[in-house]
Amino acid sequence: VSAPATAARRLGREFFARPALEVAPDLIGCTLLFDGVGGTIVETEAYDESEPACHAYVGRTARTAVLFGPPAHAYVYLSYGIHQLFNFVCDAEGHGAAVLVRAIEPHEGVHEMWARRPAARERGGLCSGPGKLAQALAIGPEHNGRSVLAPPFEVLARTGQPPAIVAGPRIGITKAAELPWRFLAAGNPYTS
DNA sequence: CCTGCGATTTGCT
DNA sequence: GCAAATCGCAGGC
């Protein structure tokens, strides 16, 4: 992937300055790179302050401040005391919303991913889950609040035809579990 | 292959 | 004090 070719595909702030429910399916098929390591986004979930599964539901706190900040920034937090989860902050500044990236199809820097995730048994397990993804790309709490429009982040628009997308309920939540706000690339084997 | 459980920390009640 | 946007391993079939 040459630098001039990727520069033209780079997503801008306006892409993320929309409701998370619009951004989440639009991200399927886009490319996420962190320090040159990453691949094609194949699974996302939308979260919005209007529903209780979203951390922003409780209002602005020290933890959720980033969610209410400007869009196109990273929201990274610790889940179950062990796993880092990476989200794109979405919607207008002042509105708490985000899209969780749950899985990518590995393309760039696959060797680094294997080094960081020796527990993965096959290529399909490198980035097939939000915790795995953050570990494979070496995204951590130090990146919370960072802009995704500048290095080490690089987010690229898809090329070619839009992929087939299927929606379903979000994973691992107990509140608002009925909302079909999870989006997957149809038939893709690199999902969680 | 599939199911069940422990890990480990933070934020909010 | 407890629940949490998960993962990997052990053990059983």
Is residue A3 predicted with pLDDT exceeding 80?
no
**Which nucleotide in the DNA or RNA is closest to residue A65, CA to C1'?**
B11
Lowest-confidence pick of A39-43, A74-78, A133-137, A174-178: A174-178
Segment A140-144 mean pLDDT: 97
Which tens digits make up the pLDDT trace of A44-87?
999 999 999 999 999 999 999 999 999 999 999 999 999 999 99
A190 CB-contact burial (10 Å; exposed 0-12 / middle 13-18 / buried 19+):
buried
Residue A166 has pLDDT above 70, yes or no: yes
Mean pLDDT (whole number) for A161-179: 95
Q: In angstroms, rounded to a whole number, what is the distance separating the alpha carbons of residues A52 and A24?
A: 18
> What's A157's DSSP letter?
-
Cβ contact A63 with chain B strand, < 7 A? yes
Q: A89 and A66 in contact (C-beta within 8 Å)?
A: yes
Q: Are A180 and A24 in contact (CB under 8 A)?
A: no
pLDDT value at position A7? Answer: 86
Helix (H, G, I), strand (E, B) or coil at A68: helix
Burial class (CB in 10 A: 0-12, 13-18, 19+), A133: buried
Q: Tell if A79 CB is < 7 Å from nucleic strand B.
A: no
Answer whether any strand C atom is within 7 A of the Cβ of A191.
no
Q: Mean of the per-residue pLDDT values for chain A? A: 96
- Specify which residue's alpha carbon is closest to the C1' of nucleotide B10: A81
Instruction: Decide: CB of A100 under 7 A of nucleic strand C.
Output: yes
Stretch A163-177: mean pLDDT: 95
A83-127 pLDDT, tens digit per residue, is 999 999 999 999 999 999 999 999 999 999 999 999 999 999 999
In chain A, the percentage of residues whose pLDDT exceeds 70 is: 99
